[in-house]
Structure 1
């Protein structure tokens, strides 16, 4: 099937705005409505209720971008109406909610989760490199970048572990840290505040070990370096650097290089071109000319992948079971830190 794929969004906040704004630049994809309790001038049709939106706009799928607590009931309502859903993360706020949601809609095959992190250019390049076997079989992943389910998604994706039991240990520590930036912009003046760091280990019984390290406001605080490590049986990837065994008595170090246009006398405009490992191209930006940042590229990719799934021309972009598992492990991290003892993720119906 060709032609246009349409979608609607429930929610009109900061997160929802990404979806309708990016869709406007994508061929073959159209945002045909936003459900908002209060009237808004958004450049796309706004409906006061989901029912009115579905009746008038007839979207091929619906994105839910609402507060955590509202997501499960909304997903259930859409599934009952037979409408495919792309649910923002996490699909439910707590363990009871995750289990109830799975019991209700797990067999529907109509729900995907809007987990964008593995689709970010740098992460997508790392995933491609690891899956190509450049460092052998992955055995450990450390993520110090983003929080909870997003970090768990990166750990599971890079390790290649499925959904199953895990054992989690965690500690929290608090220390003073300058906080110069937030989503709202620069802090004037900058204040030194108490910032909490949560460090956890995640052990997967079938092999694979994850290290989670997140500090308050790490998303926006540019004083905190992002760190990502993947250890394999024949080498290690650390951020943009790879060391590996290329043969007997031969240890090779190779950088992962992003080609960014727009610097110095490069007049093509500021954009990501591709990411390479030696002469191998790990990733090409599918949206050159849009000047999008990595988050925008990832969300646009997710939208197009969801459209392909709805049309039947592509795989599931991020199944509900995976989104549930990511948050299940994230909840275990908080539980282990709260209690000071190991938290076990036992077998669950979505495994």
Structure 2
């Protein structure tokens, strides 16, 4: 049994203790909160009290400004950490955190987007070589460090230098739903879109496109494109060169149970490309949505890392670099000039 604790008790922290309750071999021993609460897991009012329960690792689901000092405190006590994204709010904070804990090997970042079933399937397809070597990735679905993580992972690029350019536009857009639920009545509001290009020095190009509330506003299509030397993946369709004078189109198909007369219950089964299975849901029967599947996978990957020396789920250096590039996107949009991301100490 691998155990973990959570510092923080907000909506993000809830994912971790709720999903762990359904996973074999993983137990949440409690959360650290500033006040007593009635939760389905024990509540500790101090970090010392929490660590007395001897968790194998700690998830920090805390505000940006609090996370760096908390991570440093845990590392100083020799406790492995899974830090919610980003691990520090600004460039000085990123560099300071690396200087303090980068050499410890104890810090991972809770970056789950590459574990979302559709993205995991796309990553498997790209790595199979089906569209050749990836050269460009366009992401229009999520923001900042999450989008940068998808771009870098799908390109297979490292943590090297890049040049970032960006613009912002504002236009009216209906905003029918937020995290709080449906708007009643729906209002048309001014929404800002940030579009950025990221040219990596070692090769590879990223296009970042994000509009306010794009996570929840279902009027905005999610778009993802990966261009390779032999073709393109666009959302759920692939066009590629398979032989001389032979270009084929193939759908990436998700098998979702529970529709019409399928009485197995609503669930994700697998995602295929032709006869190849790109992704198979490891939690079939639990009826989890994609975010829940991704976070559960991240939790189990972290448990494997701390208990049996499994691969790092998402190293601190990658989380820092994702946010470094995201900060460059904001700076480029604010100034209207190109911003260089130079070699950082975590490279």
Please classify the TM superposition score into its range, dividing by the shorter chain length.
over 0.9
SS of the residue corresponding to residue 90 of structure 1 reads: coil
Summarize deviations over 1:33-56 as a string: whole Å, max 9, x none: 10000111111110001111101x
Give the CA deviation at 1:313.
3.8
Give 1:112-123 correspondences, 5 Å limit. Answer: 112-123=108-119
Give the CA deviation at 1:251.
0.2
Separation of aligned partners in 1, 2:126 and 2:141: 19
Could you tell me the TM-score, scaled by structure 2's length?
A: 1.00
> Which residue of structure 1 lines up, in the alignment, with residue 89 of structure 2?
93
Structure 2 residue 67 is the aligned partner of structure 1 residue 68:
no
Give 1:309-324 correspondences, 5 Å limit. Answer: 309-324=305-320
- What is the total number of aligned residue pairs between the two structures? 347
Give 1:326-345 correspondences, 5 Å limit. Answer: 326-345=322-341
> Which residue of structure 2 lines up, in the alignment, with residue 227 of structure 1?
223
Could you tell me the TM-score, scaled by structure 1's length?
A: 0.99
> Which residue of structure 2 lines up, in the alignment, with residue 22 of structure 1?
19
> Which residue of structure 2 lines up, in the alignment, with residue 262 of structure 1?
258
Structure 2 unmatched runs, 5+: none
Summarize deviations over 1:152-205 as a string: whole Å, max 9, x none: 000000000011101000000000000000000000000000000000000001
> Which residue of structure 2 lines up, in the alignment, with residue 128 of structure 1?
124
Structure 2 residue 5 is the aligned partner of structure 1 residue 8:
yes
Among residues 18, 33, 38, which one is paired with 1:36 in the alignment? 33
> Which residue of structure 1 lines up, in the alignment, with residue 141 of structure 2?
145
Separation of aligned partners in 2, 1:122 and 1:270: 17
Separation of aligned partners in 2, 1:328 and 1:318: 16
Separation of aligned partners in 2, 1:69 and 1:124: 31
Separation of aligned partners in 2, 1:276 and 1:49: 47
Structure 2 residue 52 is the aligned partner of structure 1 residue 50:
no
SS of the residue corresponding to residue 66 of structure 2 reads: helix
Structure 1 unmatched runs, 5+: none
Separation of aligned partners in 2, 1:40 and 1:274: 39
Separation of aligned partners in 2, 1:209 and 1:263: 39
Separation of aligned partners in 1, 2:335 and 2:170: 17
Separation of aligned partners in 2, 1:218 and 1:63: 26
Structure 2 residue 100 is the aligned partner of structure 1 residue 104:
yes
Give the CA deviation at 1:72.
0.2
Separation of aligned partners in 2, 1:194 and 1:350: 38
Separation of aligned partners in 2, 1:313 and 1:241: 37
RMSD: 0.4
